[in-house]
């Protein structure tokens, strides 16, 4: 019975990894203002959440004690504090939902420690490959059809509100994959690419330990080809999102790995990074043959849409609003930034109000000084318990930090929180199983 439960736990957890990008959900609550839907007040139970819950059930059969956090009683205080603060929110049910998202992401990170590490990494890369293929299909077809069972919304380049790139009197659709925005897909593919580079590096290290024997190379040639193929397709998929923040995060992470290993004279890592950069350049050249000048237009800050995007992002910083000492200490409430901004200025419909496009400022606005100190203390605990410094893991987090400086989805979406949790789990003291 225990062996069966462990097998089912592993299978369901694997399905959960594959389901992370898919947005199939049952919307059980929707808040509106003056008859207009508030996007961040639409609460839904995602299919991936159900899979995670099933994985927990089978995990409990053999590992009930592992769900206790007796070593860190501080976390019990954090849980109690968050519940109390949730009741003080302007709309408690919304804040409790976002708290649930955070705790489920933490649960994901905790359970991941009991699954073989490379099983998780390969599945995440496969999930990235699937999303990249979907992104390329969307870019070539210039349209996304709606499918409620897959959680896909319709997006056409001629429809207002669709994310596009404008150049040469054309509107080029930015790829969404199965996610609600191209930037989120960009962040997801950034993580998948980093995982692919890690797997590539792992194969090279194993080959070196085996003295580059023909037997080893023959045995693992298909795995290496899968990794390189997946990296190539994920890179093209990333380019199809036209996500500047994701590409910048990838560049920052790769540069960090490259420079640190140059200093350490770890030439295997340098070799892999140089080869991936060559893959990226080839992918960019191929993509430019399909859409010549599109990325140049995306990087041109003088373009109409780019100017509009910059202005909208800058305006969101005005939503860092602290009306009184209560908001300074306890924040606006989880998920409440756009609601508070709308109540301060109702000149525009609530569905057009976006959260602050900076994770760190947004977090401080919503949880206040006390919440920010609690979050910093949790990060301190994670770093304190880190087994050793893993350059790839820290560089992945650096890339996520760069993305967080320019966007909000790592704080406001279920997928974003899972990406953050996945980045942090690699620093935890108890190593992932190998």
Q: Domain ranges in the chain?
A: 69-425
Q: Which string of b and e fits 113-146 if b means at least 16 CB within 10 Å?
A: bbbebebbbbbbbbbbbbbbbbbbebbeeeebee
Q: What local confidence, expressed as pLDDT, does residue 429 receive? A: 41
Q: What local confidence, expressed as pLDDT, does residue 104 receive? A: 94
Tell me the whole-structure pTM to 2 decimals: 0.93
Spatial distance between the Cα atoms of 385 and 355, rounded to a whole number of angstroms = 33
Q: Which string of b and e fits 246-258 if b means at least 16 CB within 10 Å?
A: bbbbbebbbebbb
Angle formed by the axes of helices 2-19 and 92-112, to 10°?
A: 120
Among 432, 419, 7, 431, residue whose Cα is nearest residue 185 = 419
Spatial distance between the Cα atoms of 316 and 341, rounded to a whole number of angstroms = 9
Spatial distance between the Cα atoms of 155 and 165, rounded to a whole number of angstroms = 14
- Is residue 375 within 8 A of residue 363, CB to CB? The reply is yes
Q: What local confidence, expressed as pLDDT, does residue 430 receive? A: 42
Residues of the chain with pLDDT under 50: 428-432, 434
- Is residue 19 within 8 A of residue 51, CB to CB? The reply is yes
Among 112, 103, 97, residue whose Cα is nearest residue 45 = 97
Chain center to CA of 356: 17
């Amino acid at each position: 019975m225990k062996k069966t439960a462990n097998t089912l736990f592993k299978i369901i957890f694997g399905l959960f990894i594959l389901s992370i990008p898919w947005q199939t959900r049952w919307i059980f609550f929707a808040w509106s203002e003056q008859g207009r839907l508030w996007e961040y007040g639409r609460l839904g139970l995602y299919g991936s959440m159900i899979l995670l819950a099933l994985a927990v059930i089978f995990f409990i059969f053999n590992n009930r004690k592992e769900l206790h956090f007796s070593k860190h009683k501080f976390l019990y205080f954090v849980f109690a504090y968050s519940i109390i603060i949730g009741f003080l929110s302007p709309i408690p049910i919304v804040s409790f939902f976002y708290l649930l998202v955070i705790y489920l992401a933490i649960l994901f990170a905790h359970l991941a420690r009991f699954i073989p590490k490379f099983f998780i990494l390969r599945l995440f890369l496969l999930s990235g490959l699937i999303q990249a293929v979907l992104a390329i299909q969307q870019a070539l077809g210039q349209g996304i059809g709606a499918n409620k069972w897959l959680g896909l919304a319709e997006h056409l380049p001629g429809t207002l509100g669709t994310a596009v790139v404008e150049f040469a009197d054309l509107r080029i659709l930015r790829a969404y994959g199965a996610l609600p925005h191209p930037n989120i897909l960009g962040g997801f593919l950034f993580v998948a690419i980093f995982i692919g580079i890690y797997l590539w590096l792992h194969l090279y290290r194993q080959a070196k330990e085996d003295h580059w024997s023909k037997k080893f190379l023959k045995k693992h040639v298909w795995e290496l080809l899968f990794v390189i193929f997946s990296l190539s397709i994920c890179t093209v998929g990333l380019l199809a999102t036209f996500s500047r923040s994701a590409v910048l995060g990838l560049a920052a992470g790769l540069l960090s790995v490259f420079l640190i290993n140059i200093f350490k004279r770890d030439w295997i890592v340098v070799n892999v990074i140089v080869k991936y950069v060559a893959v990226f350049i080839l992918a960019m050249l191929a993509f430019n043959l399909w859409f010549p000048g599109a990325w140049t237009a995306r990087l041109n800050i003088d373009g109409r849409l780019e100017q509009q995007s910059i202005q909208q992002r800058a305006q969101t910083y005005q939503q860092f609003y602290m009306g009184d000492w209560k908001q300074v200490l306890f924040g606006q409430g989880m998920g409440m930034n756009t609601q508070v901004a709308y109540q301060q200025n109702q000149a525009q419909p609530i569905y057009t109000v976006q959260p602050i496009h900076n994770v760190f400022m947004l977090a401080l606005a919503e949880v206040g000084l006390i919440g920010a100190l609690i979050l910093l203390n949790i990060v301190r605990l994670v770093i304190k318990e880190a087994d050793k410094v893993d350059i790839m893991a820290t560089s992945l987090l650096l890339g996520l930090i760069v993305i967080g400086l320019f966007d909000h989805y790592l704080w406001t979406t279920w997928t974003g929180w899972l990406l953050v949790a996945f980045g942090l789990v690699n620093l935890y003291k108890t190593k992932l199983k190998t």
